[in-house]
């Protein structure tokens, strides 16, 4: 009986320690997705999610050109896009590729690569025409480009 109690307490201690360690991973989206990328570096979803978590970790990241967050996120989004490669006509893959294009468009926009960002938003809308976020980004980008063109012609 004493041996069972000692064994039970040892197992309970080990499981408690492991639970505590795993809770550290779930502390924030950054720590969670970093753990995922570390364990599965060649998966589209892990790179995409970690890149997005990096972008969202600072709410001002998209307003500041070449901010640290967009520079940190860019390689993960590009890697996710290269892993995904060409897509077939399945709806799920098209929607996911559209989200990748939208996120990459946001990164390009923050780097003042406006034409390239606009092209990504357009391609994203073609792949997922009912995605409101991508359509909104495309409309904003087109409006901004129109204003910039009018200002350039006015000067």
CA distance linking residue 85 with residue 39, whole number of Å: 21
Q: Which token pair is 14?
A: 């080990």
pTM listed for this prediction:
0.66
pLDDT in tens, 110-131: 888 889 999 999 999 998 899 8
Q: Residue 16 falls within a domain, yes or no?
A: no
Q: Residue 116 falls within a domain, yes or no?
A: yes
DSSP letter at 64 equals S
CA distance linking residue 27 with residue 117, whole number of Å: 32
**CATH number of the domain that 63 lies in?**
1.25.40.10
Q: What range defines the domain where residue 83 resides?
A: 27-154
Q: Residue 128 falls within a domain, yes or no?
A: yes
At 59, is the pLDDT very low, low, confident or very high (cuts 50, 70, 90)?
very low
Q: Residue 13 falls within a domain, yes or no?
A: no
Q: Residue 15 falls within a domain, yes or no?
A: no
- Asked if pLDDT for residue 38 goes beyond 70, the answer is yes
Q: What is the pLDDT of residue 142?
A: 92
Q: Residue 41 falls within a domain, yes or no?
A: yes
Around Cβ 29, how many Cβ atoms within 10 Å?
Answer: 15
At 64, is the pLDDT very low, low, confident or very high (cuts 50, 70, 90)?
very low
- The count of structural domains within the chain is 1
Helices 68-84 + 44-56 axis angle, to 10: 160
């Amino acid at each position: 009986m004493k041996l069972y109690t000692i064994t039970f307490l040892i197992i309970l201690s080990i499981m408690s320690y492991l639970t505590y360690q795993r809770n550290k991973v779930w502390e924030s989206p950054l720590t969670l997705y970093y753990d995922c990328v570390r364990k599965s570096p060649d998966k589209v979803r892990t790179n995409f999610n970690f890149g997005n978590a990096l972008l969202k970790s600072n709410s001002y990241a998209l307003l500041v050109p070449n901010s640290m967050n967009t520079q940190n996120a860019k390689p993960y989004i590009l890697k996710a896009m290269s892993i995904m490669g060409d897509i077939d006509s399945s709806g799920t893959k098209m929607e996911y590729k559209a989200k990748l294009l939208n996120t990459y468009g946001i990164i390009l926009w923050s780097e003042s690569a406006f034409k390239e960002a606009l092209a990504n938003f357009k391609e994203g809308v073609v792949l997922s025409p009912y995605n409101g976020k991508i359509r909104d980004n495309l409309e904003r980008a087109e409006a901004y480009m129109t204003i910039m063109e009018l200002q350039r012609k006015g000067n």
